[in-house]
A = this chain, B = another copy of it.
Amino acid sequence: MKVTILGNNSALPAFGRHPTSQAVSVHGQILLIDCGEATQIQMQRYSIKWRKLNHIFISHLHGDHYFGLPGLVNSMSLMGRSEALHLYGPKELILILDQILKVADTELSYPLIFHPLPEGSEVLVDAPSFRVTCFPVIHRIQCHGFLIESKTRGRKILPEKCIAMAIPVAFYENLKMGEDYVMPDGTVIENTTLTEEGPAPRRYAYCADTIFTESFLHIVKDVDTIYHESTYLHNDSTKAEARFHTTALQAAQFANMANATQLLLGHFSSKYKDLEPFHQEASSVFSNVHITVEGNVYEI
């Protein structure tokens, strides 16, 4: 699992930084989290393929998290998409989209299936290769974070070994599940000869826009990677609290409490040109911090 940052800024675009959007790649599928203005342009720039995108998650209805959605939804239709697109977001989102499509006299070329977010925490998608759970965070308006878990797909086939030993392709799924292969003459080929350990499941917590709070700590405990907003530096902690945002220091403290392995910071206020102080501040309490950069791909 990996995440490509499409936008890392808050509220206003600034210094070439775009509003929030992230593309999570998991077992060949793309999950889009938030969709700030110009997300479709950023997707083109960083080669994120629409054809692999079937699920979009919108955390809340502040514009810097979804003003790129109407354009993306529309463009996929103009490109002739036919596969269903699943959209998860606050219930009012579909009213806005419906109105926008209606005044344009537009009928989408594909089914747009809307799933309103519940008030609390809930599994939104439980697919064979990943699971997404939403959880409430604390912001000025209703807002949700998303926990994305990749599932193990079993052991990894070693194709050259399987071919050399003439293992039928039909048996590959059994190999993935750890079975040994028995030759027609009764010889047993041990599974470990034909496979190696597959990728471990991974957990990524996107904590959206939130005040510094432990209210959802139990849900994201022990994840591999946390993305936490850090709109401000800590000398602006009063402003951060008043605006339901977090400082870099607080985000790092949260990652510590959650026992995460890696912390990604984003949603930087447009008042900051230089982001190095965010790194310094967070590094003082958590060792593995990345100041997210648009276009960068982070392994979870």
Contact = CB atoms under 8 A, between A and B. Distances in A.
Q: Counting chain B CB atoms within 10 Å of each CB, which of A13, A37, A68, A92 scores highest?
A: A37
Contacts of A71: 19, 37, 63-64, 67
B41 A13 contact: yes
Nearest to A19: B71
How many residues of A sit at the interface, in one of the four size bands? 35 or more
A95 B98 CA distance: 12
A90 interface: yes
B141 A62 contact: no
A18 interface: yes
Interface in A108-162: 140-141
Contacts of A140: 105
A94 to B, nearest CB: 11
A8 to B, nearest CB: 14
Interface stretch (A72-80, A179-187, A256-264, A275-283): A72-80
A99 interface: yes
A300 interface: no
Contacts of A79: 12
Interface string A272-291: 00000000000000000000
B37 A18 contact: no
Contact of A100 (B64, B74, B96, B105): B96
A242 interface: no
11 contacts: A11-B75, A11-B78, A12-B40, A12-B78, A14-B44, A37-B68, A61-B103, A62-B104, A92-B103, A99-B99, A104-B141
Given A38-B38, A96-B100, 12 more contacts: A13-B41, A14-B44, A37-B41, A37-B71, A63-B70, A63-B74, A64-B71, A67-B67, A67-B70, A96-B99, A99-B99, A105-B141
Interface of A: 11-14, 18-19, 37-38, 40-41, 44, 61-64, 67-68, 70-71, 74-75, 78-79, 90, 92-93, 95-96, 99-100, 103-105, 140-141
